[in-house]
Copies of this chain bind each other. A is one copy, B any other.
Amino acid sequence: MDELVNRAFRLRGRPAGVADEAALELVREPVGELRDGQALVRTLVLSVDPSNRVFMSEIRSDLPPVEVGAVMRGFGLGRVVASRRADLPVGAHVLGMTGWQDYRVADDRELEGPFQVLPDPLPAGPEELLGVLGLTGITAWLAVEIADPRPGRTVVVSAAGGAVGSIAGQLARERGARVVGIAGGADKCRHVVQELGFDACVDRHDPRWRELLDAATPDGVDADVENAGGEVFDHVLTRLGTGARVALCGMIADYSGDPARRWGVRNLVEVLEQRVSVRGFLVTDHAQRFGEITGELAARIADGRLRYEQDVVEGLENAPEALERVLRGSSRGKVLVRVG
């Protein structure tokens, strides 16, 4: 094993703005010999998510920030290629924090939690297991539960063309609500309406997007599946009706570690006056429901009720650029990096 070389992205420093490729450095390092209790996991596919950006900052979250100099944290699907521990046998496919690297030495001291061994053969493609049938789809499901869409209600979904938003909007529509997306670009809006069945979509890049959202929600907004944060959320607040519900699943605009670079939200008084409930949640808190929810999602994919898109980038070296596209909203659907 000692001739094996690992390519890894290490954090050079905390990024200043929202997206900042320069914060990551690709290094080549020898993979040392395994000790007892360790296994070597080859990264096959990485999930690229806004939360990667959170880990690069000093924002408090469920996991501590990635230390400067450490390997970039990332969730992925891998295969065990060498092992000195019985629970991770060679050949097993695993899900977990592979990190942004070719190989991870898995021992029992992982900060990010243990690897989960997948059934053999895999129940779905690696991309699906990281996307629509993984944390992404489960996040969308949980958000829709919080939003509680029903016939007669209007649900707004921001970052509607993104991984979570595109699934959440379809699930909300299935429950009978009128679903209005907010997405970056006319193409993405068309896709969301024509392919995914949203009732309407507002192009965030149109300078009149606020008026367009007002016009698209003439009866106000009963629920918001919030993936964007910042000025989008600030304006959505002004459309909320009495007793509205906000599922806070993402705040991409606010992932700079420097609060001064974030949008100052000025319409929170609407939360009070409209008696709104805002719930922040992280999918990782709900592991006991993953099986049930994945089953619901798989059934909807099987019968065609749920559509999804995957944007697969080839090569570990392109992971930072993939993240930048996610954060800038220029990606569509779930973004993944094929590594191995």
Is there contact, CB below 8 Å, between B271 and A280?
yes
By a CB distance below 8 angstroms, the chain B residues around A270 are 59-60
Residue of B whose beta carbon sits closest to that of A268: B265
User: C-beta contact mask, A260-300 vs B, less than 8 Å → 1, else 0?
Assistant: 10111111111111111111111001000000000000000
CB distance from A66 to the nearest CB of B (A): 15
User: C-beta contact mask, A56-68 vs B, less than 8 Å → 1, else 0?
Assistant: 0001111000000
A residues whose Cβ falls under 8 Å from a Cβ of B: 54, 59-62, 229, 233, 238, 242, 248-251, 254-255, 259-260, 262-282, 285
Is there contact, CB below 8 Å, between B266 and A259?
yes
Is there contact, CB below 8 Å, between B250 and A272?
yes
Residue of B whose beta carbon sits closest to that of A267: B259
Bound: A281/B62 CA distance, A: 29
Q: Which of B260, B273, B275 makes the CB contact (< 8 A) with A266?
A: B260
By a CB distance below 8 angstroms, the chain B residues around A255 are 269
Bound: A65/B266 CA distance, A: 19
Bound: A281/B60 CA distance, A: 28
Is there contact, CB below 8 Å, between A251 and B269?
yes
Is there contact, CB below 8 Å, between A272 and B248?
yes
Bound: A41/B25 CA distance, A: 75
Known: A264-B265, A265-B264. A59 touches B273 (CB 8 A): yes
Q: Which of B54, B263, B274 makes the CB contact (< 8 A) with A280?
A: B274
Bound: A120/B262 CA distance, A: 57
18 A–B contacts from the bound complex (CB under 8 Å): A54-B269, A59-B270, A229-B269, A248-B268, A251-B269, A251-B272, A254-B266, A255-B269, A262-B266, A263-B266, A265-B266, A265-B268, A272-B280, A272-B281, A275-B282, A275-B285, A276-B279, A276-B280
Is there contact, CB below 8 Å, between A280 and B285?
no
Residue of B whose beta carbon sits closest to that of A265: B265
Is there contact, CB below 8 Å, between B268 and A229?
yes
Bound: A100/B265 CA distance, A: 33
Is there contact, CB below 8 Å, between A262 and B272?
no
CB distance from A328 to the nearest CB of B (A): 18
Residue of B whose beta carbon sits closest to that of A270: B60
By a CB distance below 8 angstroms, the chain B residues around A248 are 268, 271-272
Bound: A59/B271 CA distance, A: 11
By a CB distance below 8 angstroms, the chain B residues around A254 are 266, 268-269
